[in-house]
Amino acid sequence: MKALILVGGFGTRLRPLTLSVPKPLVDFANKPMILHQIEALKAIGVNEVVLAINYQPEVMLNFLKEFEAKLGIKITCSQETEPLGTAGPLALARDKLIDDSGEPFFVLNSDVISEYPLKEMIAFHKAHGGEASIMVTKVDEPSKYGVVVMDETTGQVEKFVEKPKLFVGNKINAGIYLLNPSVLDRIELRPTSIEKEVFPNIAAAKKLYAMVLPGFWMDIGQPRDYISGLTLYLDSLRKNSPSKLASGPHIVGNVIVHETAEIGEGCLIGPDVAIGPGCVVESGVRLSRCTVMRGVRIKKHSCISSSIIGWHSTVGQWARVENMTILGEDVHVCDEVYSNGGVVLPHKEIKSNIVKPEIVM
């Protein structure tokens, strides 16, 4: 089986992290976002993944080469010379996706994190016999999204309603699809949207079906959702593989700590924290709802909450970092400095307080 991951563009919403690496390579729960998807695809028998990309393909491929060997899966790129939307890349990668088997292929948005019930999706797709299956997820505020109106018993999709003013349903497109090769005949090689053009056509032909996603779902393409996604992901680990979570007198709630990280005396860590490889957390540190990426040093008695600390950064003694502060790669926060929602570009030293959310160039 094959799969296409829509990697897309510049990842501007996750800057300053995406100034250092393409968005799919930004760490989420101690591994690159895209690796969560590739591992889930490999686990259900996908043997080739095509990355639809228009930005830095060589960086992506060089990075993923080691995982190709480790996971035993072929990873190739299909590069756009101009942005082709969410459907155009499928037409561009047509020759890579179609083979003699006639098997359906997966399409995933690279920002989506979930429990990836792909095996169940294959069974669902075979059972309904339509042309395409999409995952949908229930949301509390459907008016912010495009809503999928579907038959609750069969899953057949009737129509899509973009940001409805009146309630028509609470299920939205979750960005995970399983498509028959014939869907490619419906897509022209031009900038085009799978959600707004291709799927409505298949729905009109009564060949589109939706499966409600069990478990959690989050689009982690922006910082606030990234932190919420981490909470949901760790909660899912607690249910499904609790042995991966850290434990001990200094741990509160769900926390993952890489085996190479060092944690000092008298710390309080959690809930909802990921500490990456090679990190050093000195004594008396307080961490909650945050991600600390590879090679970070957090000095004594500092406090970090609801923030993302980028690779190889340093947080000084008695510093306080909170309220969606994002430190890019190699940022150094001096001792006793306060950051309230600062977004700091890579290779900066922060010597004075950031008292209100702002971008520090």
* Same domain assignment for residues 158 and 75: yes
User: Helix, strand or coil for residue 27?
Assistant: strand
* Same domain assignment for residues 154 and 129: yes
Residue 172 confidence (pLDDT): 87
Question: In this prediction, what percent of the chain has a pLDDT beyond 90?
Answer: 48
* Same domain assignment for residues 6 and 59: yes
Residue 267 confidence (pLDDT): 95
* Same domain assignment for residues 198 and 297: no
* Same domain assignment for residues 138 and 240: no
User: Helix, strand or coil for residue 173?
Assistant: strand
Give per-residue pLDDT as tens, 166-219: 888 888 888 899 999 988 888 888 888 888 888 888 988 999 999 998 888 888
* Same domain assignment for residues 272 and 205: no
Residue 56 confidence (pLDDT): 66
Residue 193 confidence (pLDDT): 85
Could you tell me where the DSSP H helices lie in 191-317? 199-204, 223-240
Q: Long-range contacts made by residues 261-269, C-beta under 8 angstroms, separation at least 24? A: 264/300
* Same domain assignment for residues 36 and 158: yes
Residue 325 and residue 341 in contact, taking contact as beta carbons nearer than 8 Å: yes
Residue 135 and residue 121 in contact, taking contact as beta carbons nearer than 8 Å: yes
CA distances from 8 to 88, 89, 158, 220, 267 (A): 11, 9, 28, 14, 40
Look at the chain and count its residues: 361
The residue among 166, 189, 219 that closes a domain is 219
* Same domain assignment for residues 121 and 26: yes
When pLDDT is cut at 50, 70 and 90, the band that residue 144 belongs to is: confident
Residue 57 confidence (pLDDT): 73
Max mean pLDDT range (84-88, 96-100, 176-180): 176-180
Residue at 14: amino acid letter? L
Four-residue CA torsion sign, 79, 81, 83, 85? negative
Structure token digits, residue 147 = 């809503």
Residue 11 confidence (pLDDT): 67
Give per-residue pLDDT as tens, 297-314: 999 999 999 999 999 999
Q: Is the pLDDT of residue 24 over 70?
A: yes
Q: Which helix or strand (DSSP H or E) is residue 33 part of? A: helix 33-43
- Which backbone phi and psi does 169 adopt, to 5 degrees? 160, 170
When pLDDT is cut at 50, 70 and 90, the band that residue 10 belongs to is: low
Residue 90 and residue 193 in contact, taking contact as beta carbons nearer than 8 Å: no
The residue among 161, 193, 219 that closes a domain is 219
CATH code of 208's domain: 3.90.550.10
User: Helix, strand or coil for residue 280?
Assistant: strand
Place of tokens 């995933």: 108
Greatest CA separation found in the chain?
63
Give per-residue pLDDT as tens, 321-341: 999 999 999 999 999 999 999
* Same domain assignment for residues 13 and 122: yes
- Please tell me whether the peptide bond between 16 and the residue prior to it is cis, using omega within 30 degrees of 0: yes
- Which backbone phi and psi does 287 adopt, to 5 degrees? -125, 135
* Arithmetic mean of pLDDT over the chain: 89
Q: What is the pLDDT averaged over residues 87-91? A: 85
Q: Is the pLDDT of residue 261 over 70?
A: yes
Question: Domains in the chain: how many in total?
Answer: 2
Q: What is the pLDDT averaged over residues 242-256? A: 93
Residue 139 confidence (pLDDT): 84
Structure token digits, residue 12 = 């501007």
Question: In this prediction, what percent of the chain has a pLDDT beyond 70?
Answer: 98
The residue among 166, 184, 219 that closes a domain is 219
Residue 145 confidence (pLDDT): 76
* Same domain assignment for residues 30 and 130: yes
* Same domain assignment for residues 272 and 326: yes
- Residue-number span of the structural domain to which 28 is assigned: 2-219
Q: What is the pLDDT averaged over residues 261-288? A: 95
CATH code of 257's domain: 2.160.10
* Same domain assignment for residues 248 and 294: yes
